[in-house]
Amino acid sequence: MIEYIKGKLAELEPMQAVVEAAGIGYDIAITLPTYSALVGQEEKEVKLFITEVIREDTHELYGFVERAERQLFELLMTVSGVGAATARMIMSAFSAEELRMLIATGNSKGMAKVKGLGPKTAQRIIVDLKDKALKLDLGGDPTELPMLDVEVDSGVKAEAVSALTMLGFAAAASVKAVDKILKGDATLKVEAVIREALKML
């Protein structure tokens, strides 16, 4: 069991990070809040708390800057019908505190806006996790994590589309959604574009 990986941040994308430790490059799946926290840390030493997901055909690593966020991710995966991919999508659509508030207030309708998360599963998450989620110490407001400061150009569109396709959405549908979002507000940062797209696709 890997508790955490500490090393140089070699590569960073909205849904993926490569951390080099002891000469080994670890390909780690991440959420948008973790991505936001890592922006600007390229080539610097970082520490990610790890959840390993091992199946017959794959061995995946999911990384989080905060231990409490990892705990919330792992709690989501204990709910019937919620796997690692769905849990990551949920945690990318909302900040950890936003998600905890949705669970605490029983807002299944708000949570069900995430693609592939129907009202029944959203309600099951609330019922199963309400007490457990409220006990988590998230330590501050995750919405205050540093955001990516970029010029408005095709790079925002490209990164957003890339992240969405990594999450399993069709490229054509991802491009269409991102174009529509940026047409409405061309100043949006990558994280905001992806979050809006997750509610549209």
Q: What pLDDT digit, counting tens, does each position of 1-25 carry?
A: 899 999 999 999 989 999 999 999 9
> Domain range holding 116?
67-143
Higher pLDDT, 157 or 49: 49
Residue 119 one-letter amino acid:
P
The per-residue b/e assignment along 156-176, b for 16 or more CB within 10 angstroms, e otherwise, is bbebbbbbbbebebeeeebbe
Residue 156: both structure tokens together: 């925002």
Place of tokens 């998230």: 138
Say if residue 87 is in the same domain as residue 24: no
pLDDT digits (tens, 9 = 90+) for 95-140: 888 888 888 788 888 888 787 788 889 999 999 998 887 777 665 4
How many domains does the chain contain in total? 3
Domain boundary pick from 19, 40, 64: 64
Of 36, 64, 92, which residue constitutes the final position of a domain? 64
- Integer Cα distance of 93 and 132 in angstroms: 20
State the CATH number of the domain containing residue 39. 2.40.50.140
pTM to 2 decimals? Answer: 0.70
Does 21 share its domain with 79? no
Nearest in space to 169 (alpha carbons), one of 42, 51, 178: 178
What percent of the chain is predicted at pLDDT more than 70?
Answer: 91
pLDDT at 150: 33
Answer yes or no: are the C-beta atoms of 53 and 62 closer than 8 Å: yes
